[in-house]
Amino acid sequence: MNIQEARPSDAPMIASVLQDAARWLADGGRALWSGADIGHERVLQDTSAGLFHVALDGEQVVGVMKFELADAYFWPEILPGTSAFIHKLAIRRAWAKKGVSIELLTYARARAQQLGRAYLRLDCVADRQGLRKLYEDFGFTLHSVVQKGATSFARYEIPAAQ
């Protein structure tokens, strides 16, 4: 498996992975992302800004994540320059439970360390027990639970240094 920063030409495949994941979540009664957040235009904008990273099996995009150096919405108290943040981690259903998420998390942690960030942080809807177990099994620790609108989010962190 190869993980790398996405190219703008990868945007349609990234959007496809995100939309497939969103459909799967919605079908299970756990809708998450809005169409605007994962539509081609927004994904192209974020990919062109160097935010998306892809897990590739050959030329096939099997997983994606957004890797950011700031997150004022979920982590407003975090000092600039101290952390990296993961958002929109999604895996093609055919690749679920095959280690792609772990590969992406490992890559993100190493990248955070290379960039001199002390922590890698992420959040998820607090009632997503399977996802929380994935993060905890990887080594993330629960930092806090915050309320955003009607939804509770679990915030996790892990030291970037391994």
Beta-bridge partner residues of 120 = 84, 158
Task: Read off the pLDDT of each residue in 26-37 and give the average, rounded to a whole number.
Answer: 78
Amino acid at position 111, single letter = R
Give the rounded distance of the alpha carbon of 152 from its chain centre: 18
Euclidean distance between CA atoms 67 and 21, whole angstroms: 18
More confident residue, 35 or 82: 82
SS3 assignment for 24-36: HHHHCCCCCCCHH
**pLDDT band for position 51 (cuts 50, 70, 90):** very high
- Give the pTM: 0.94
Q: Are 94 and 61 in contact (CB under 8 A)?
A: no
Over residues 56-89, the pLDDT tens digits come to 999 899 999 999 999 999 999 999 999 999 999 9
Helices (H), 49-159: 100-114, 129-138
- Helices 129-138 and 100-114: crossing angle in degrees, nearest 10, is 50
Name the maximum alpha-carbon separation found in the chain: 41
What is the pLDDT at residue 35? 76
| Domain ranges within the chain, ordered by starting residue | 2-118
* CATH fold for the domain made of 2-118: Aminopeptidase (3.40.630)
Interstrand relation of 151-159 and 83-91 (parallel, antiparallel or unpaired): unpaired
Q: Binning pLDDT at 50, 70 and 90, where does residue 3 land?
A: very high
90: enclosing H helix or E strand: strand 83-91
**What residue type is 28 in one-letter code?**
G
pLDDT digit string (tens) for 87-140?
999 999 999 999 999 999 999 999 999 999 999 999 999 999 999 999 999 999
Average of per-residue pLDDT values in the chain:
94
Residue 54 CA to residue 61 CA, distance in Å, equals 6
